[in-house]
Amino acid sequence: MNQELKKYIETEIFPQYEMYYSHGMLHIENVIKNIMQLAEYYKLDKDMSYTIASYHDIGLRVNRENHELESGKILNNDKVLKKYFNEEKIKIMKEAVEDHRGSRKERPRNIYGEILSDSDRDFEVKVLAKRQLATNIKNYPELKTFDEIFEQAYNYIMKRINKQGHLNLWTDCPIFVEKMRKFEEDFFNKDYTREIYRKEYERIASDGTIDKIKNYYLDY
Ligand SMILES: [Fe+2]
Ligand SMILES: [Fe+2]
C-alpha cells in the first residue's frame, strides 16, 4: 500500500486513540489486521481498507452515541486524504465508516462497509472480555458485583444471535466464517466464558485499571 499515506495515518490519526481503552490502539490494530485479510480475499483496495479501519472509531472524540457518523465526517473532511483518493472513493469510505456498527440490522451500503463491520469484531473471548468489562464498568455504575457485570455483558452478546442461532457476518470469507465458528463454540460455553471474564476482572480490579477506566480513559 501507499507508504506515505500509511505514515500520515500513523503519525496523525493513531495518537488520537491514546485516551481510549476499549477503543484504543489494540482494538484498531486488530481491526486493521482483520480488514487486510478480507481486502486480500475479496481483491479490494488496500489503501481504502487500511484507511477506513484507521478512522472508523475516531469520531468518539466528538460524540459518543453517534461516533460512526462523526468518524465519517472526519474522514470526509480530511484534506490530506484527498491527495490519495478521488471523490468517489472518499464517498465509499465515508459510507463504510458510517455503517460499521455491529448491532446494525441493515446491510452496509457497500462492500467496504461489510468488511469493516466484520473486522470490527472480537473473535477471541479474552479480547472481548477486556473490552466489554471496561464498557460495562463505565456505562453501568449501578452494577456492583462481578456476576452482575458479567450477566449484563453475556446477555448483550446473546441478544445479537439470529434465528439460526449464530452471530451475524456480512461477508462469507472462509477464514472469517471459521473464526466466528470457533468464537461461538467458546463463547456459548458460558462457564468457560465466565472464567475468562472473572480472571480479567480480577486483573483490572487489582492493578488499578478499573479506576483508570472510570476516571481517565474517555471511552464508554
Ligand atoms: Fe465503533
Ligand atoms: Fe471499533
CA 167 – ligand 1 centroid, Å: 17
CA 145 – ligand 2 centroid, Å: 27
Q: Helices 125-139 and 190-206 sit at what angle, rounded to 10 degrees?
A: 60
CA 122 – ligand 2 centroid, Å: 10
116 in Cβ contact with 93 (< 8 Å): no
Pure H helices in the chain: 3-8, 25-41, 46-55, 67-77, 87-98, 111-119, 125-139, 146-158, 174-187, 190-206, 209-215
Among the bound ligands, the one closest to the CA of 104: 1
The three cell numbers locating residue 50: 487500511
The three cell numbers locating residue 6: 500509511
Among the bound ligands, the one closest to the CA of 24: 2
CA 142 – ligand 1 centroid, Å: 24
Phi, psi of 159, rounded to the nearest 5 degrees: -70, -20
3-119 CATH, one of 3.40.50.720, 3.40.50.2300, 1.10.510.10, 1.10.3210.10 = 1.10.3210.10
Residue list, CB under 5 A from ion ligand 2: 57, 120
Q: How far apart are CA 187 and CA 166, in angstroms?
A: 11
Amino acid letter for position 25: M
118 in Cβ contact with 171 (< 8 Å): yes
The pLDDT, as a whole number, for residue 105 is 83
- What SS3 state is found at 167? strand
Q: Where exactly are the structural domains of the chain?
A: 3-119, 125-215
CA 27 – ligand 2 centroid, Å: 7
112 in Cβ contact with 48 (< 8 Å): yes
- The pTM score is 0.95
Among the bound ligands, the one closest to the CA of 101: 1
Amino acid letter for position 94: K
The pLDDT, as a whole number, for residue 64 is 78
CA 194 – ligand 1 centroid, Å: 25
Among the bound ligands, the one closest to the CA of 66: 1
The pLDDT, as a whole number, for residue 113 is 98
The pLDDT, as a whole number, for residue 203 is 97
Residues of the chain with confidence (pLDDT) below 50: none
The pLDDT, as a whole number, for residue 68 is 95
The pLDDT, as a whole number, for residue 219 is 85
Residues in contact with 212: Cβ distance below 8 Å, sequence separation at least 6, in sequence order: 21
